[in-house]
């Protein structure tokens, strides 16, 4: 009996030992001509003398991942409505369902018009209405609200945040939605703004009214059964654009947050987060202005970055450890929707996530075949819909996003990697699985030796490919 027990114990220990050894349980690869293909992994002969190319260090956890998403825009809703209902629903399923597709769980929306709105509007265009008597989301009830509700059918826990591109035009010195005079708008040259100044009228009554405007927005969406979990105070506050925009100095944004918006939310008992975003310049001193202010900083729950803000995020992550950080708008390209654009988007994802971002958001989910806004800029989208033929195209950037968002669970941690090869991102999900996103930008296959907790895993990465390798 003792001998049998001893054999049994050895057998169990052997099984447990084997179960702890890392092994590849799934491998998905995307090339330009073959998106989202499963590779059946067969471990090649392991040469113990080969050097290690990449070591994954799950014991060295970095930031927690909150999720992935994109932005709800009016022109996206229009493109979606070129299609039959079944086709629309399939796209929404592929974007939002928690068990399939991109699994988006954090999404942005504009407060009023942005560059991908049908035309200019705000939520209160009644000049001088400081009491917000004429505040209305009537237009949103025909566009953005049904768009968001269509997503919520598949993802009821979807987190929505909003940001204005422009306040009501009557709150600006030039009385116009644009900052820069151009042929695509009717702003006279004398009304043009200048970076380093503030276009918002910094009068107490107007600042108070603008804080109330945010509060009314939250209340109106709640009445439509949409909870807004956060607001970012201004889209790109330094960018003087020919489309809806409003430039602010960091000092004036600090006044608005600390003396009006924060206290307004506090007085109303709102739990909605206030983020200092979306920052599109590399100057950390503009962020310090708010985060080092003892009054304003207590209202700020995170910092959002896009475009040139990518140069600021490394230092912000270093100087303010623990501060939630978001990449708020992936750079939009020029409408090419090609493989090169996808490779560039991966480089952005790698930069932001290597520098502390807790979430990464794309820009336009869906556009028509032109990709153009009413202000003339042609941009990329995850999905294109041809307005004539109704053809649906899932562009390469859709798959770049999916290689992370499908596999990396909410609550995962980014983990440290070591080695000469840098086109990688690695995470550990709450269930313990390791998610390795590895990219080969070369025209030749890439043979690599991975090391995970003293276990070697040899892999061969296909040429010109995006890959997600799931390791148990």
Report whether pLDDT(15) > 70.
no
pLDDT of residue 47: 66
Quote the CA–CA distance of 199 and 195 in Å, as a whole number: 9
What is this structure's pTM? Answer: 0.93
For 301, left (φ over 0), alpha (ψ -120 to 50), or beta?
Answer: alpha
Report whether pLDDT(120) > 70.
yes
pLDDT of residue 22: 73
Mean pLDDT of 46-51: 70
Query: How sure is the predictor about 4, in pLDDT bands with cuts at 50, 70 and 90?
Result: very low
CB 330 within 8 A of CB 361: yes
Report whether pLDDT(6) > 60.
no
pLDDT tens figures, 176-200: 999 999 999 999 999 999 999 999 9
pLDDT tens figures, 134-149: 999 999 999 999 999 9
How does 51-68 read in b/e, with b if 16+ C-beta sit within 10 Å? eebbbbbbeeebbebbbb
pLDDT tens figures, 238-267: 999 999 999 999 999 999 999 999 999 999
70's enclosing H/E stretch is strand 67-71
Task: Give span(s): CATH 2.60.40.1180, the chain.
Answer: 23-62+415-471
pLDDT tens figures, 309-337: 999 999 999 999 999 999 999 999 999 99
- Average confidence score pLDDT of the chain: 94
Neighbour count for residue 362 (Cβ, 10 Å): 28
CB 460 within 8 A of CB 445: yes
pLDDT tens figures, 405-444: 999 999 999 999 999 999 999 999 999 999 999 999 999 9
Fill in the DSSP letter of residue 158.
Answer: -
Task: Give span(s): CATH 3.20.20.80, the chain.
Answer: 66-407
What is the fold, at CATH topology level, of the domain defined by 66-407? TIM Barrel (3.20.20)
Quote the CA–CA distance of 96 and 365 in Å, as a whole number: 11
**Helices vs strands, H then E, count in the chain:** 11, 20
**CATH number of 23-62+415-471: 2.60.120.620, 1.10.150.120, 3.20.20.70, 2.60.40.1180?**
2.60.40.1180
pLDDT of residue 128: 97
């Amino acid at each position: 009996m003792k001998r049998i027990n001893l054999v049994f114990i050895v057998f169990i220990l052997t099984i447990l030992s084997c179960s702890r050894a890392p092994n590849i349980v799934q491998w998905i690869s995307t090339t330009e001509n073959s998106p989202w293909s499963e590779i059946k992994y067969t471990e090649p002969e392991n040469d113990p003398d080969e050097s290690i190319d990449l070591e994954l260090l799950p014991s060295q956890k970095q930031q927690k991942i909150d999720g992935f998403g994109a932005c709800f825009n009016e022109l996206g809703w229009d493109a979606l409505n070129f299609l039959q209902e079944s086709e629309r629903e399939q796209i929404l399923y592929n974007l939002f369902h928690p068990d399939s597709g991109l699994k988006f769980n954090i999404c942005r929306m504009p407060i009023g018009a942005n560059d991908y709105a049908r035309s200019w509007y705000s939520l209160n265009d009644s000049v001088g209405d400081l009491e917000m008597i004429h505040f209305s989301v009537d237009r949103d009830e025909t566009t953005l609200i049904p768009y968001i509700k269509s997503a919520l059918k598949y993802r009821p826990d979807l987190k929505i945040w909003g940001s204005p591109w422009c306040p009501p035009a009557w709150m600006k010195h030039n009385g116009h939605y644009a900052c820069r005079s151009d042929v695509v708008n009717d702003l006279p040259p004398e009304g043009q703004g200048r970076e380093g100044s503030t276009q918002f009228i910094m009068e107490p009554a107007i600042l108070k009214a603008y804080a109330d405007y945010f509060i009314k927005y939250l209340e109106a969406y709640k009445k439509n059964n949409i909870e807004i979990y956060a607001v970012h105070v201004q889209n790109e506050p330094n960018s003087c654009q020919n489309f809806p925009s409003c430039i602010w100095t960091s000092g004036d944004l600090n006044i608005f947050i600390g003396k009006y918006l924060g206290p307004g939310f506090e007085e109303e008992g709102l739990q909605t987060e206030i983020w200092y975003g979306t920052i599109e310049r590399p100057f950390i001193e503009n962020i310090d202005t708010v985060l080092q202010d003892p009054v304003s900083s207590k209202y700020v729950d995170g910092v959002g970055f896009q475009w040139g803000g990518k140069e600021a995020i490394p230092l912000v992550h270093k100087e303010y450890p623990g501060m939630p950080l978001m990449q708020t708008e992936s750079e939009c390209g020029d409408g090419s929707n090609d493989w090169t654009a996808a490779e560039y988007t991966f480089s952005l994802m790698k930069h932001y996530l290597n520098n502390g971002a807790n979430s990464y958001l794309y820009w336009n989910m869906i556009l028509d075949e032109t990709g153009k806004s009413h202000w003339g800029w042609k941009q990329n989208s995850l999905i294109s819909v041809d307005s004539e033929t109704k053809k649906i195209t899932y562009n390469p950037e859709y798959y770049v996003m999916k290689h992370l968002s499908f596999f990396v669970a909410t609550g995962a941690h980014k983990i440290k990697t070591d080695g000469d090869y840098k086109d990688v991102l690695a995470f550990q999900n709450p269930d313990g699985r390791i998610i390795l996103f590895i990219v080969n930008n070369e025209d030749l296959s890439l043979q690599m030796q991975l090391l995970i907790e003293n276990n070697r895993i040899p892999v061969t990465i296909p040429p010109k490919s995006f890959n997600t390798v799931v390791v148990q």
